[in-house]
Chains A and B, each alone.
Chain A
Amino acid sequence: MKIAVCVKQVPDSWAEKKMVNGILDRENVDAVLNDLDEYAVEEALRIAEAHGGNEEGGSNTITVISMGPERATEAVRKALSMGVNDAILVTDPQLAGADALATSAVLAAVIEKGGFDLVICGTESTDARMSVVPAMLAERLNAAQLTFASKVTVDPAAGKVSITRVTEAGVDEMHAQFPCVISVVEKINEPRYPSFKGIMAAKKKTIESRDLATVGVSAEAAWSLVADATPRPARATGIKVTDDGTGGEQLVAYLAEKKLI
Protein backbone atom coordinates (compact mmCIF):
# COMPACT_ATOMS: atom_id res chain seq x y z
CA MET A 1 0.00 0.00 0.00
CA LYS A 2 1.03 3.56 -0.64
CA ILE A 3 -0.09 5.69 2.27
CA ALA A 4 0.10 9.48 2.45
CA VAL A 5 -0.31 11.22 5.80
CA CYS A 6 -1.08 14.95 5.84
CA VAL A 7 0.36 16.78 8.80
CA LYS A 8 0.41 20.43 9.69
CA GLN A 9 2.63 22.47 11.94
CA VAL A 10 0.55 24.66 14.23
CA PRO A 11 1.21 27.16 16.99
CA ASP A 12 1.42 25.48 20.37
CA SER A 13 -2.12 25.24 21.80
CA TRP A 14 -1.09 27.17 24.90
CA ALA A 15 0.64 29.97 22.97
CA GLU A 16 -1.06 33.34 22.78
CA LYS A 17 -2.10 33.80 19.17
CA LYS A 18 -2.37 37.09 17.35
CA MET A 19 -3.56 38.24 13.98
CA VAL A 20 -1.30 40.50 11.91
CA ASN A 21 -2.84 42.05 8.78
CA GLY A 22 -5.66 39.54 8.77
CA ILE A 23 -3.53 36.41 9.02
CA LEU A 24 -2.30 34.40 11.96
CA ASP A 25 1.13 35.49 13.13
CA ARG A 26 3.04 32.21 12.94
CA GLU A 27 6.48 33.77 13.27
CA ASN A 28 6.46 34.64 16.92
CA VAL A 29 4.93 31.59 18.55
CA ASP A 30 6.21 28.14 19.40
CA ALA A 31 5.19 25.69 16.76
CA VAL A 32 4.46 21.99 17.12
CA LEU A 33 3.09 19.09 15.10
CA ASN A 34 -0.73 19.42 15.22
CA ASP A 35 -1.48 16.91 17.97
CA LEU A 36 -4.46 15.45 16.11
CA ASP A 37 -2.14 14.62 13.21
CA GLU A 38 -0.04 12.41 15.50
CA TYR A 39 -3.02 10.07 15.60
CA ALA A 40 -3.02 10.04 11.79
CA VAL A 41 0.68 9.15 11.71
CA GLU A 42 0.15 6.45 14.34
CA GLU A 43 -2.80 4.96 12.46
CA ALA A 44 -0.79 4.84 9.21
CA LEU A 45 1.99 3.01 11.03
CA ARG A 46 -0.47 0.56 12.58
CA ILE A 47 -2.17 -0.14 9.25
CA ALA A 48 1.24 -0.80 7.65
CA GLU A 49 2.37 -2.94 10.59
CA ALA A 50 -0.76 -5.06 10.38
CA HIS A 51 0.04 -5.83 6.74
CA GLY A 52 3.76 -6.48 6.47
CA GLY A 53 5.28 -3.27 7.85
CA ASN A 54 6.94 -0.39 6.04
CA GLU A 55 10.56 -1.52 5.86
CA GLU A 56 12.69 -0.36 2.92
CA GLY A 57 11.75 -2.30 -0.18
CA GLY A 58 8.69 -3.83 1.53
CA SER A 59 5.10 -3.75 0.39
CA ASN A 60 4.04 -0.53 2.15
CA THR A 61 5.40 3.00 2.18
CA ILE A 62 4.21 5.92 4.23
CA THR A 63 4.93 9.45 3.04
CA VAL A 64 4.23 12.48 5.14
CA ILE A 65 3.00 15.51 3.22
CA SER A 66 2.90 18.97 4.70
CA MET A 67 2.39 22.48 3.47
CA GLY A 68 3.87 25.28 5.54
CA PRO A 69 6.85 27.52 6.12
CA GLU A 70 10.41 26.20 6.19
CA ARG A 71 10.32 25.72 9.94
CA ALA A 72 7.53 23.15 9.52
CA THR A 73 10.49 20.82 8.91
CA GLU A 74 10.56 20.30 12.69
CA ALA A 75 7.02 18.95 12.74
CA VAL A 76 7.70 16.79 9.70
CA ARG A 77 10.84 15.46 11.38
CA LYS A 78 8.77 14.40 14.37
CA ALA A 79 6.51 12.34 12.11
CA LEU A 80 9.61 10.80 10.51
CA SER A 81 10.99 9.88 13.91
CA MET A 82 7.74 8.05 14.72
CA GLY A 83 8.60 5.75 11.82
CA VAL A 84 7.23 6.95 8.47
CA ASN A 85 9.44 6.50 5.41
CA ASP A 86 9.87 9.92 3.85
CA ALA A 87 8.31 13.34 3.54
CA ILE A 88 7.42 16.14 1.17
CA LEU A 89 7.17 19.72 2.41
CA VAL A 90 5.64 22.37 0.19
CA THR A 91 6.91 25.84 1.01
CA ASP A 92 6.27 28.94 -1.05
CA PRO A 93 6.01 32.59 -0.07
CA GLN A 94 2.84 32.82 -2.16
CA LEU A 95 1.17 30.38 0.20
CA ALA A 96 1.40 32.63 3.24
CA GLY A 97 -2.12 32.95 4.63
CA ALA A 98 -3.41 30.07 2.49
CA ASP A 99 -6.95 29.00 3.31
CA ALA A 100 -8.33 25.46 3.26
CA LEU A 101 -9.22 25.63 -0.45
CA ALA A 102 -5.66 26.55 -1.44
CA THR A 103 -4.16 24.09 1.06
CA SER A 104 -6.27 21.23 -0.24
CA ALA A 105 -5.44 22.13 -3.87
CA VAL A 106 -1.71 22.00 -3.13
CA LEU A 107 -1.90 18.80 -1.07
CA ALA A 108 -4.10 17.12 -3.69
CA ALA A 109 -1.65 17.95 -6.47
CA VAL A 110 1.25 16.46 -4.50
CA ILE A 111 -0.73 13.35 -3.56
CA GLU A 112 -1.99 12.82 -7.11
CA LYS A 113 1.52 12.96 -8.51
CA GLY A 114 2.80 10.39 -6.02
CA GLY A 115 -0.12 8.01 -6.39
CA PHE A 116 -1.66 6.53 -3.24
CA ASP A 117 -4.11 4.02 -1.86
CA LEU A 118 -4.86 5.78 1.39
CA VAL A 119 -4.56 9.39 2.52
CA ILE A 120 -4.79 9.80 6.27
CA CYS A 121 -5.44 13.14 7.98
CA GLY A 122 -6.21 14.40 11.45
CA THR A 123 -9.79 15.62 11.92
CA GLU A 124 -8.86 19.18 12.62
CA SER A 125 -5.92 21.53 12.82
CA THR A 126 -5.84 23.16 16.23
CA ASP A 127 -5.24 26.61 14.73
CA ALA A 128 -7.73 26.76 11.86
CA ARG A 129 -10.22 24.38 13.52
CA MET A 130 -12.16 23.95 10.31
CA SER A 131 -12.24 20.16 9.79
CA VAL A 132 -12.64 20.68 6.08
CA VAL A 133 -9.32 19.80 4.43
CA PRO A 134 -9.93 16.00 4.40
CA ALA A 135 -13.35 16.41 2.73
CA MET A 136 -11.86 18.82 0.19
CA LEU A 137 -9.07 16.34 -0.55
CA ALA A 138 -11.58 13.56 -1.17
CA GLU A 139 -13.47 15.83 -3.55
CA ARG A 140 -10.36 16.94 -5.43
CA LEU A 141 -8.80 13.48 -5.63
CA ASN A 142 -12.07 11.85 -6.67
CA ALA A 143 -11.52 9.40 -3.81
CA ALA A 144 -13.89 7.94 -1.25
CA GLN A 145 -14.35 10.04 1.88
CA LEU A 146 -14.13 8.10 5.14
CA THR A 147 -13.77 10.82 7.77
CA PHE A 148 -14.09 11.14 11.57
CA ALA A 149 -12.98 7.54 11.98
CA SER A 150 -12.66 6.07 15.47
CA LYS A 151 -11.76 2.68 13.99
CA VAL A 152 -10.19 1.75 10.64
CA THR A 153 -9.91 -1.74 9.19
CA VAL A 154 -8.03 -2.25 5.93
CA ASP A 155 -8.13 -5.30 3.66
CA PRO A 156 -5.29 -4.62 1.19
CA ALA A 157 -6.01 -7.69 -0.95
CA ALA A 158 -9.59 -6.58 -1.56
CA GLY A 159 -8.60 -2.89 -1.63
CA LYS A 160 -11.30 -2.26 0.96
CA VAL A 161 -11.44 0.04 3.97
CA SER A 162 -14.11 -0.01 6.69
CA ILE A 163 -14.46 2.63 9.36
CA THR A 164 -16.61 3.61 12.30
CA ARG A 165 -17.50 7.30 11.93
CA VAL A 166 -18.19 9.16 15.16
CA THR A 167 -19.69 12.64 15.08
CA GLU A 168 -22.34 14.57 17.01
CA ALA A 169 -24.85 13.03 14.62
CA GLY A 170 -24.15 9.57 16.00
CA VAL A 171 -22.16 6.53 14.95
CA ASP A 172 -22.02 5.25 11.36
CA GLU A 173 -20.41 2.15 9.90
CA MET A 174 -18.98 2.91 6.44
CA HIS A 175 -16.80 1.27 3.84
CA ALA A 176 -15.23 2.00 0.46
CA GLN A 177 -12.67 0.81 -2.05
CA PHE A 178 -9.16 2.28 -2.48
CA PRO A 179 -8.31 5.07 -2.97
CA CYS A 180 -9.72 6.65 0.20
CA VAL A 181 -9.21 9.79 2.20
CA ILE A 182 -9.51 9.00 5.90
CA SER A 183 -9.52 11.35 8.86
CA VAL A 184 -9.12 10.00 12.37
CA VAL A 185 -10.46 11.22 15.72
CA GLU A 186 -8.27 11.23 18.81
CA LYS A 187 -10.01 8.22 20.33
CA ILE A 188 -8.61 5.92 17.68
CA ASN A 189 -5.21 5.11 19.17
CA GLU A 190 -2.42 6.26 21.47
CA PRO A 191 0.38 7.83 19.39
CA ARG A 192 3.82 6.38 20.14
CA TYR A 193 6.70 8.49 21.40
CA PRO A 194 9.58 8.59 18.94
CA SER A 195 12.29 6.17 20.18
CA PHE A 196 15.95 7.20 20.31
CA LYS A 197 16.54 4.91 17.33
CA GLY A 198 13.64 6.53 15.51
CA ILE A 199 14.99 10.01 16.16
CA MET A 200 18.45 9.05 14.86
CA ALA A 201 16.97 7.31 11.81
CA ALA A 202 14.80 10.35 11.04
CA LYS A 203 17.90 12.51 10.63
CA LYS A 204 18.85 10.44 7.61
CA LYS A 205 15.40 10.36 6.02
CA THR A 206 14.62 12.56 3.05
CA ILE A 207 12.40 15.61 3.34
CA GLU A 208 11.86 16.74 -0.20
CA SER A 209 11.01 20.43 -0.51
CA ARG A 210 8.84 21.71 -3.29
CA ASP A 211 7.57 25.11 -4.24
CA LEU A 212 4.35 25.97 -6.08
CA ALA A 213 6.04 25.75 -9.48
CA THR A 214 7.26 22.18 -8.82
CA VAL A 215 3.88 21.18 -7.45
CA GLY A 216 2.35 22.58 -10.59
CA VAL A 217 -0.62 24.50 -9.21
CA SER A 218 -1.18 28.20 -9.23
CA ALA A 219 -3.13 28.60 -6.07
CA GLU A 220 -4.43 31.93 -4.95
CA ALA A 221 -3.77 31.90 -1.23
CA ALA A 222 -7.25 32.69 0.00
CA TRP A 223 -10.80 32.95 -1.25
CA SER A 224 -12.03 34.71 1.82
CA LEU A 225 -10.62 37.86 3.28
CA VAL A 226 -10.43 39.04 6.83
CA ALA A 227 -11.73 42.60 7.10
CA ASP A 228 -10.73 43.08 10.72
CA ALA A 229 -9.66 41.14 13.78
CA THR A 230 -10.03 42.59 17.24
CA PRO A 231 -9.01 41.04 20.53
CA ARG A 232 -12.07 40.68 22.69
CA PRO A 233 -11.89 42.25 26.09
CA ALA A 234 -10.54 39.71 28.57
CA ARG A 235 -13.21 38.23 30.81
CA ALA A 236 -13.57 40.39 33.86
CA THR A 237 -12.18 38.67 36.94
CA GLY A 238 -15.01 36.72 38.42
CA ILE A 239 -16.16 36.10 41.94
CA LYS A 240 -14.64 33.13 43.76
CA VAL A 241 -16.03 31.83 47.01
CA THR A 242 -14.86 28.96 49.18
CA ASP A 243 -17.58 26.56 50.23
CA ASP A 244 -18.20 26.78 53.96
CA GLY A 245 -21.50 24.99 53.66
CA THR A 246 -23.20 27.90 51.92
CA GLY A 247 -21.46 27.58 48.52
CA GLY A 248 -24.56 26.08 46.91
CA GLU A 249 -26.76 28.89 48.21
CA GLN A 250 -24.30 31.56 47.11
CA LEU A 251 -24.26 29.98 43.66
CA VAL A 252 -28.07 30.15 43.47
CA ALA A 253 -28.01 33.78 44.67
CA TYR A 254 -25.53 34.64 41.92
CA LEU A 255 -27.65 32.96 39.22
CA ALA A 256 -30.76 34.76 40.50
CA GLU A 257 -28.99 38.12 40.52
CA LYS A 258 -27.82 37.56 36.93
CA LYS A 259 -31.40 36.53 36.01
CA LEU A 260 -30.15 33.18 34.80
CA ILE A 261 -32.84 31.35 36.74
Chain B
Amino acid sequence: MSTVLMLADFVGTKATKTNAELATAGARIGEVTAVVLAPVGQGATYAAAINRGPIAKIIVVESDSFLANGVAAVADVLAQVIATESPAAVLIASHAFGKEVAARTAVKSGSGIITDAVDVSADITATQLVFGGSTTVHSKVSHGTPIITVRPNSVDADTTESTPAVETQSFSVSDASKKATVTSSQPPVQGGRPELTEANIVVSGGRGTNGDFSAVENFADVLGAAVGASRAATDAGWYPHSYQVGQTGKTVSPQLYVANGISGAIQHRAGMQTSKTIVVVNKDPEAPLFEIADFGVVGDLFAVLPKATEGIKAHKS
Protein backbone atom coordinates (compact mmCIF):
# COMPACT_ATOMS: atom_id res chain seq x y z
CA MET B 1 0.00 0.00 0.00
CA SER B 2 1.28 3.44 -0.82
CA THR B 3 2.27 5.99 1.79
CA VAL B 4 0.78 9.45 2.14
CA LEU B 5 2.72 12.06 4.06
CA MET B 6 1.01 14.75 6.08
CA LEU B 7 2.85 17.63 7.68
CA ALA B 8 1.66 17.70 11.29
CA ASP B 9 0.08 21.08 12.02
CA PHE B 10 0.84 23.05 15.18
CA VAL B 11 -0.03 26.53 16.36
CA GLY B 12 2.81 27.25 18.74
CA THR B 13 3.13 23.99 20.63
CA LYS B 14 -0.51 23.02 20.24
CA ALA B 15 -1.55 20.40 17.66
CA THR B 16 -4.55 21.62 15.68
CA LYS B 17 -7.82 19.93 14.82
CA THR B 18 -6.69 20.02 11.18
CA ASN B 19 -4.40 17.03 11.78
CA ALA B 20 -7.31 14.58 11.95
CA GLU B 21 -8.74 16.17 8.79
CA LEU B 22 -5.46 15.74 6.88
CA ALA B 23 -5.22 12.14 8.12
CA THR B 24 -8.81 11.36 7.10
CA ALA B 25 -8.25 12.67 3.57
CA GLY B 26 -4.84 10.97 3.35
CA ALA B 27 -6.17 7.58 4.46
CA ARG B 28 -8.39 7.45 1.36
CA ILE B 29 -5.21 7.38 -0.73
CA GLY B 30 -2.84 5.26 1.33
CA GLU B 31 -1.29 4.65 4.72
CA VAL B 32 -0.75 7.94 6.49
CA THR B 33 2.62 8.95 7.92
CA ALA B 34 2.64 12.23 9.84
CA VAL B 35 5.85 14.25 9.71
CA VAL B 36 6.41 16.02 13.03
CA LEU B 37 9.06 18.73 12.91
CA ALA B 38 9.96 19.80 16.44
CA PRO B 39 12.56 21.82 18.35
CA VAL B 40 15.46 19.78 19.74
CA GLY B 41 14.36 17.71 22.73
CA GLN B 42 10.64 18.13 22.10
CA GLY B 43 9.98 15.55 19.40
CA ALA B 44 8.31 13.08 21.76
CA THR B 45 5.99 15.73 23.24
CA TYR B 46 5.00 17.01 19.82
CA ALA B 47 4.46 13.49 18.47
CA ALA B 48 2.27 12.53 21.43
CA ALA B 49 -0.16 15.29 20.46
CA ILE B 50 -0.71 13.75 17.01
CA ASN B 51 -3.08 11.11 18.27
CA ARG B 52 -6.36 11.45 16.41
CA GLY B 53 -7.40 10.18 13.01
CA PRO B 54 -6.16 7.30 10.87
CA ILE B 55 -2.42 7.85 11.28
CA ALA B 56 -0.25 4.74 10.92
CA LYS B 57 3.16 6.17 11.61
CA ILE B 58 4.95 9.31 12.77
CA ILE B 59 8.36 10.44 11.58
CA VAL B 60 9.89 12.92 14.01
CA VAL B 61 12.71 15.21 12.99
CA GLU B 62 14.20 17.60 15.56
CA SER B 63 15.94 20.86 14.75
CA ASP B 64 15.95 24.32 16.28
CA SER B 65 16.03 25.69 12.75
CA PHE B 66 12.30 25.08 12.29
CA LEU B 67 11.54 27.96 14.65
CA ALA B 68 14.66 30.01 13.98
CA ASN B 69 14.46 29.94 10.19
CA GLY B 70 10.79 29.24 9.50
CA VAL B 71 9.35 28.20 6.15
CA ALA B 72 12.65 27.56 4.35
CA ALA B 73 13.93 25.14 7.01
CA VAL B 74 10.65 23.23 7.23
CA ALA B 75 10.45 22.87 3.44
CA ASP B 76 14.09 21.75 3.31
CA VAL B 77 13.50 18.82 5.67
CA LEU B 78 10.07 17.96 4.27
CA ALA B 79 11.58 17.66 0.78
CA GLN B 80 14.22 15.29 2.16
CA VAL B 81 11.56 13.13 3.83
CA ILE B 82 9.66 13.04 0.52
CA ALA B 83 12.81 11.89 -1.25
CA THR B 84 13.29 8.97 1.15
CA GLU B 85 9.63 7.95 1.58
CA SER B 86 8.44 8.41 -2.04
CA PRO B 87 4.85 9.08 -0.95
CA ALA B 88 1.85 9.03 -3.29
CA ALA B 89 0.90 12.52 -2.08
CA VAL B 90 1.75 15.12 0.56
CA LEU B 91 -0.99 16.91 2.50
CA ILE B 92 -0.40 20.17 4.35
CA ALA B 93 -2.77 22.51 6.19
CA SER B 94 -3.78 25.46 4.02
CA HIS B 95 -2.76 28.60 5.87
CA ALA B 96 -0.03 31.16 5.16
CA PHE B 97 2.74 29.01 6.62
CA GLY B 98 1.46 25.73 5.15
CA LYS B 99 1.05 27.19 1.67
CA GLU B 100 4.54 28.67 1.71
CA VAL B 101 6.04 25.37 2.89
CA ALA B 102 4.13 23.62 0.10
CA ALA B 103 5.41 26.18 -2.42
CA ARG B 104 9.07 25.67 -1.62
CA THR B 105 8.70 21.90 -1.25
CA ALA B 106 7.07 21.73 -4.69
CA VAL B 107 10.01 23.58 -6.28
CA LYS B 108 12.55 21.40 -4.44
CA SER B 109 10.92 18.11 -5.32
CA GLY B 110 9.87 19.03 -8.86
CA SER B 111 6.22 18.54 -8.04
CA GLY B 112 2.92 20.14 -8.90
CA ILE B 113 0.99 21.91 -6.17
CA ILE B 114 -2.68 22.53 -5.43
CA THR B 115 -3.65 24.94 -2.65
CA ASP B 116 -6.86 25.45 -0.66
CA ALA B 117 -8.42 22.08 -1.44
CA VAL B 118 -11.68 21.50 0.41
CA ASP B 119 -11.53 17.78 -0.32
CA VAL B 120 -9.18 15.15 -1.72
CA SER B 121 -10.38 11.83 -3.17
CA ALA B 122 -8.81 8.35 -3.30
CA ASP B 123 -7.43 8.97 -6.79
CA ILE B 124 -5.77 12.19 -5.54
CA THR B 125 -8.22 14.55 -7.19
CA ALA B 126 -8.52 17.79 -5.25
CA THR B 127 -11.74 19.78 -4.98
CA GLN B 128 -11.42 23.56 -4.76
CA LEU B 129 -14.01 26.30 -4.53
CA VAL B 130 -12.79 29.23 -6.60
CA PHE B 131 -13.98 32.73 -7.47
CA GLY B 132 -15.41 33.35 -4.06
CA GLY B 133 -17.00 29.93 -3.91
CA SER B 134 -19.04 30.38 -7.09
CA THR B 135 -17.28 27.59 -8.99
CA THR B 136 -16.28 24.06 -8.00
CA VAL B 137 -13.05 22.84 -9.60
CA HIS B 138 -11.60 19.32 -9.61
CA SER B 139 -7.94 19.09 -10.42
CA LYS B 140 -5.02 16.70 -10.37
CA VAL B 141 -1.29 17.19 -10.17
CA SER B 142 0.41 15.96 -13.34
CA HIS B 143 4.11 16.11 -12.34
CA GLY B 144 6.05 14.63 -9.45
CA THR B 145 4.49 14.04 -6.03
CA PRO B 146 1.15 15.83 -5.63
CA ILE B 147 1.54 18.47 -2.92
CA ILE B 148 -1.87 19.55 -1.73
CA THR B 149 -2.81 22.06 0.94
CA VAL B 150 -6.17 21.34 2.56
CA ARG B 151 -8.32 24.08 4.03
CA PRO B 152 -9.01 23.61 7.74
CA ASN B 153 -12.56 22.66 8.71
CA SER B 154 -13.44 21.29 5.25
CA VAL B 155 -12.92 17.53 5.52
CA ASP B 156 -15.28 15.60 7.78
CA ALA B 157 -12.69 14.16 10.14
CA ASP B 158 -12.41 10.70 11.62
CA THR B 159 -11.21 11.62 15.10
CA THR B 160 -10.80 8.13 16.50
CA GLU B 161 -7.84 7.94 18.84
CA SER B 162 -4.76 6.38 17.27
CA THR B 163 -1.41 5.16 18.55
CA PRO B 164 0.95 5.46 15.60
CA ALA B 165 4.46 4.03 15.71
CA VAL B 166 6.95 6.85 16.27
CA GLU B 167 10.29 6.85 14.50
CA THR B 168 12.91 9.55 14.94
CA GLN B 169 14.95 10.37 11.85
CA SER B 170 17.68 12.87 11.34
CA PHE B 171 18.05 15.30 8.48
CA SER B 172 20.10 18.43 8.42
CA VAL B 173 18.96 21.88 7.40
CA SER B 174 21.23 23.33 4.72
CA ASP B 175 22.78 26.79 5.10
CA ALA B 176 20.74 27.94 2.10
CA SER B 177 17.62 27.41 4.20
CA LYS B 178 18.92 29.47 7.11
CA LYS B 179 19.07 32.81 5.33
CA ALA B 180 16.19 34.37 7.20
CA THR B 181 16.33 34.52 10.99
CA VAL B 182 13.31 34.74 13.26
CA THR B 183 14.27 36.74 16.34
CA SER B 184 10.93 36.69 18.14
CA SER B 185 7.52 35.07 17.77
CA GLN B 186 4.32 36.13 19.42
CA PRO B 187 1.48 33.64 19.12
CA PRO B 188 -1.98 35.10 18.44
CA VAL B 189 -3.99 36.03 21.51
CA GLN B 190 -6.49 33.23 21.84
CA GLY B 191 -8.79 33.90 24.75
CA GLY B 192 -11.28 31.22 25.66
CA ARG B 193 -13.06 30.99 22.31
CA PRO B 194 -12.56 28.41 19.56
CA GLU B 195 -10.01 29.13 16.83
CA LEU B 196 -11.56 31.07 13.93
CA THR B 197 -10.74 28.69 11.10
CA GLU B 198 -11.71 25.64 13.16
CA ALA B 199 -14.97 26.92 14.59
CA ASN B 200 -18.36 25.54 13.59
CA ILE B 201 -19.94 28.92 14.19
CA VAL B 202 -18.38 32.34 13.62
CA VAL B 203 -20.01 35.56 14.81
CA SER B 204 -18.36 38.65 13.42
CA GLY B 205 -18.62 42.39 13.80
CA GLY B 206 -17.76 45.32 11.55
CA ARG B 207 -17.82 49.09 11.55
CA GLY B 208 -21.45 48.92 12.69
CA THR B 209 -20.31 47.86 16.18
CA ASN B 210 -18.76 51.30 16.50
CA GLY B 211 -16.00 49.71 18.55
CA ASP B 212 -18.30 48.00 21.04
CA PHE B 213 -17.98 44.25 20.45
CA SER B 214 -19.82 43.23 23.63
CA ALA B 215 -23.11 42.38 21.87
CA VAL B 216 -21.18 40.36 19.26
CA GLU B 217 -19.10 38.57 21.90
CA ASN B 218 -22.08 37.75 24.11
CA PHE B 219 -23.92 36.24 21.16
CA ALA B 220 -20.79 34.30 20.15
CA ASP B 221 -20.36 32.94 23.67
CA VAL B 222 -23.92 31.70 24.00
CA LEU B 223 -23.40 29.83 20.70
CA GLY B 224 -19.90 28.57 21.60
CA ALA B 225 -18.70 30.46 18.54
CA ALA B 226 -15.49 32.14 17.46
CA VAL B 227 -15.47 35.90 16.99
CA GLY B 228 -14.40 37.46 13.69
CA ALA B 229 -14.08 41.03 12.45
CA SER B 230 -14.12 43.03 9.23
CA ARG B 231 -11.10 45.02 8.18
CA ALA B 232 -12.85 48.24 9.15
CA ALA B 233 -12.97 46.89 12.71
CA THR B 234 -9.38 45.62 12.80
CA ASP B 235 -8.04 48.79 11.17
CA ALA B 236 -9.77 50.87 13.81
CA GLY B 237 -8.00 48.79 16.44
CA TRP B 238 -11.29 47.44 17.85
CA TYR B 239 -10.19 43.87 17.32
CA PRO B 240 -6.74 42.31 16.67
CA HIS B 241 -5.69 41.73 13.08
CA SER B 242 -5.56 37.96 13.60
CA TYR B 243 -9.37 37.99 13.83
CA GLN B 244 -9.88 39.62 10.43
CA VAL B 245 -12.01 37.62 8.02
CA GLY B 246 -11.55 38.20 4.31
CA GLN B 247 -9.17 38.33 1.44
CA THR B 248 -6.30 39.61 3.52
CA GLY B 249 -7.46 37.95 6.71
CA LYS B 250 -8.64 34.44 7.36
CA THR B 251 -10.83 32.31 5.16
CA VAL B 252 -13.53 30.60 7.18
CA SER B 253 -16.24 28.19 6.14
CA PRO B 254 -18.20 27.34 9.25
CA GLN B 255 -21.65 25.77 9.46
CA LEU B 256 -22.97 29.18 10.47
CA TYR B 257 -21.58 32.67 9.89
CA VAL B 258 -23.35 35.60 11.55
CA ALA B 259 -22.22 39.01 10.23
CA ASN B 260 -23.19 42.05 12.28
CA GLY B 261 -22.75 45.62 11.07
CA ILE B 262 -20.73 44.45 8.07
CA SER B 263 -21.65 45.83 4.66
CA GLY B 264 -20.30 42.99 2.52
CA ALA B 265 -17.36 44.35 0.52
CA ILE B 266 -15.96 41.86 -1.98
CA GLN B 267 -12.79 41.51 0.12
CA HIS B 268 -14.83 40.49 3.17
CA ARG B 269 -16.97 38.08 1.17
CA ALA B 270 -13.85 36.39 -0.15
CA GLY B 271 -13.21 35.07 3.34
CA MET B 272 -16.68 33.85 4.34
CA GLN B 273 -18.68 33.18 1.20
CA THR B 274 -18.39 29.40 1.44
CA SER B 275 -19.97 29.28 4.91
CA LYS B 276 -22.84 26.79 4.92
CA THR B 277 -25.42 29.17 6.39
CA ILE B 278 -25.04 32.96 6.39
CA VAL B 279 -26.98 35.25 8.71
CA VAL B 280 -26.72 39.03 8.37
CA VAL B 281 -27.77 41.73 10.82
CA ASN B 282 -27.50 45.23 9.38
CA LYS B 283 -29.59 48.36 9.74
CA ASP B 284 -29.21 49.24 6.07
CA PRO B 285 -31.64 47.14 3.97
CA GLU B 286 -29.45 47.81 0.92
CA ALA B 287 -26.26 46.36 2.46
CA PRO B 288 -24.77 44.09 -0.24
CA LEU B 289 -24.15 41.24 2.21
CA PHE B 290 -27.92 40.60 2.31
CA GLU B 291 -27.55 39.29 -1.27
CA ILE B 292 -25.86 36.15 0.00
CA ALA B 293 -27.70 35.86 3.32
CA ASP B 294 -29.85 32.84 4.09
CA PHE B 295 -31.45 34.84 6.85
CA GLY B 296 -31.24 38.60 7.20
CA VAL B 297 -32.47 40.95 9.86
CA VAL B 298 -32.73 44.61 8.90
CA GLY B 299 -32.17 46.24 12.25
CA ASP B 300 -29.82 47.63 14.86
CA LEU B 301 -27.38 44.98 16.06
CA PHE B 302 -27.50 46.47 19.56
CA ALA B 303 -31.23 45.71 19.68
CA VAL B 304 -31.29 42.42 17.75
CA LEU B 305 -28.28 40.59 19.24
CA PRO B 306 -29.14 40.93 22.97
CA LYS B 307 -32.64 39.61 22.26
CA ALA B 308 -31.23 36.76 20.19
CA THR B 309 -28.74 35.99 22.98
CA GLU B 310 -31.61 35.79 25.51
CA GLY B 311 -33.61 33.71 23.03
CA ILE B 312 -30.85 31.14 22.72
CA LYS B 313 -30.43 30.90 26.48
CA ALA B 314 -34.17 30.26 26.75
CA HIS B 315 -34.05 27.71 23.92
CA LYS B 316 -31.28 25.80 25.70
CA SER B 317 -32.96 25.63 29.07
Please list the residues of chain A having a beta carbon within 8 angstroms of any beta carbon in chain B: 13-14, 17-19, 36, 99-101, 104, 123-124, 126, 129-136, 138-140, 142-148, 166-177, 180, 185-187, 220, 222-232, 234-236, 238-243, 245-256, 258, 260-261
Q: Which residues of B contact A223 (CB under 8 A)?
A: 106, 111-113, 141-144
Task: Count how many chain B residues have C-beta atoms less than 8 Å from C-beta atoms of the other chain.
Answer: 94
Query: Is the beta-carbon distance between A169 and B300 smaller than 8 angstroms?
Result: no
Stretch at the interface among B39-47, B132-140, B206-214: B132-140
Contact flag A249-B295 (CB < 8 Å), given A130-B99, A132-B113 = no
Q: Which residues of A contact B139 (CB under 8 A)?
A: 224-227
Query: Is the beta-carbon distance between B143 and A248 smaller than 8 angstroms?
Result: no
Residue in B140, B180, B316 whose beta carbon sits within 8 Å of that of A144 in the complex = B180
Residue B193 interfacial (CB < 8 Å):
no
Residue B239 interfacial (CB < 8 Å):
no
Residue in A18, A36, A143, A254 whose beta carbon sits within 8 Å of that of B179 in the complex = A143
Please list the residues of chain B having a beta carbon within 8 angstroms of any beta carbon in chain A: 11-12, 70-72, 75, 95-97, 99-104, 106-108, 111-116, 125, 129-131, 133-144, 146, 176, 179-188, 196-197, 201, 223, 235, 241-242, 247-248, 250, 255-256, 266-267, 270, 277-279, 281, 285, 290, 292-300, 303-312, 315-316
Report the bound CA distance from A238 to B266 in whole Å.
19
Q: Which residues of B contact A186 (CB under 8 A)?
A: 248
Report the bound CA distance from A256 to B223 in whole Å.
12
Q: Which residues of B contact A256 (CB under 8 A)?
A: 315
Query: Is the beta-carbon distance between A238 and B294 smaller than 8 angstroms?
Result: yes
Q: Which residue of B lies closest to A133 (CB)?
A: B103
Q: Which residues of B contact A145 (CB under 8 A)?
A: 70-72, 100, 104, 179-180
Within the complex, the shortest CB–CB distance from A77 to chain B, in Å, comes to 24
Query: Is the beta-carbon distance between B185 and A171 smaller than 8 angstroms?
Result: yes
Within the complex, the shortest CB–CB distance from B91 to chain A, in Å, comes to 15
Within the complex, the shortest CB–CB distance from A31 to chain B, in Å, comes to 15
Contact flag A238-B296 (CB < 8 Å), given A129-B116, A224-B112, A227-B125 = yes
Residue in A17, A177, A180, A252 whose beta carbon sits within 8 Å of that of B308 in the complex = A252
